[in-house]
Amino acid sequence: MAPGIWAGLVGLYWRLALLPAVWIPVVALYGDRVMYWATALYWGSLVFAYTLGKVTGKDRLAVALHLGVALLTSLMSLVAPPEVVVRGLSGEDWRLGVMAFYTVGAYAFAAFAGWPGLGLGLAFGLLAPWPQEETRFLVAAGGLLAGIGGLSVAAMIQRLQALQSLIQSEALTDPLTGLANRRSLERDFSRLQALAAREGLSLVLSLWDLDNLKAVNDREGHQAGDAHLLRFAQILREEVREGDALYRVGGDEFVGLHLGLRDGASLEARVHARFPSVSVGFCPVEGRELLQALEAADGLMYLKKEKRGRLP
């Protein structure tokens, strides 16, 4: 996911996963072989899952993997005979803490892994070799309630993320033409400029201005003017190369960012063949700021307007 809610939660999880370090003194003072194995599995799987997430980019899956192992380690401690888990403490002294750990883990497992996480968490509780049969269903019931809570949180996050994407899309898109807007241009400019420098490619900015929009609006009304804008936007989409970025930055002004473009004349000719009443200026970006590139392209465009007698 784009940096978003889940990405933030993944980062928070890796930090919270370090909190069981406070349990290490208990393990060192009172632990026995089962507690040693459970602790080793927890921390070993944490390192493995974190590395896997960084290498593959599947951070949410990596978190779910670690949570699954964490649930198993807590069950190892709960189902084993007390004498092989801890030394010198009664079962009630440490089982409550491990049960809390298991419940929180079941909640997070369902949140990150969805329905499979809920199912696996429930299966862990039901299939574990509990010493007392009634404990099996108490633990499973607690895990089920925690898992349902985790699923509810996951559903809420999905809705929030969809809303976030919608708001971001609307904030960066021109509502009439569907092209990106000036805010999007400002965001993309430096990124494409850095990409061009890194790859050794040219980056050209084109500035397009419709010559007769005001006349169309005055003569036929704003609905016809909108149709005029839509027609030009569609033609521009069809004539630029795949990967070129297009923006509507004003009432009748459009901008293109063209990575690796060598000859703007051919693009200009193709657009003019289908939409004659438009003027354009091309400016190599190189080390220019966005405003400087826009001003340079605007100056070239107005020179062309002057030659063609299209100045208002």
Could you tell me the residue range of the domain that residue 259 belongs to? 182-308
Residues 193 and 254 in one domain: yes
The Cα angle at residue 169 between residues 183 and 287, in degrees rounded to 5: 30
φ/ψ of residue 182, rounded to 5: -65, -35
**Hey, what are 86's tokens?**
């801890």
Among 45-54, 110-119, 222-231, the range with the most confident prediction by mean pLDDT is 45-54
Q: First-to-last CA distance in the chain? A: 48
pLDDT for 1 equals 38
In terms of pLDDT, which residue wins out, 310 or 308?
Answer: 308
Q: What is the pTM of this model?
A: 0.59
The pLDDT > 70 percentage for the chain reads 95
pLDDT digits (tens, 9 = 90+) for 49-97: 999 999 999 999 999 999 999 999 988 888 888 778 877 766 666 777 7
Q: Write down how long the chain is.
A: 312
Residues 215 and 80 in one domain: no
In terms of pLDDT, which residue wins out, 286 or 231?
Answer: 231
Confidence of residue 267 (pLDDT cuts 50, 70, 90): very high
Q: Which of 29, 28, 105 is nearest to 67 (CA)?
A: 105
Residues 165 and 192 in one domain: no
**Hey, what are 101's tokens?**
């750990």
Residue 196 has pLDDT above 60, yes or no: yes
Residues 147 and 14 in one domain: yes
In terms of pLDDT, which residue wins out, 312 or 236?
Answer: 236
Count the domains in the chain.
Answer: 2
Confidence of residue 2 (pLDDT cuts 50, 70, 90): very low
Q: What is the mean pLDDT of residues 108-128?
A: 89
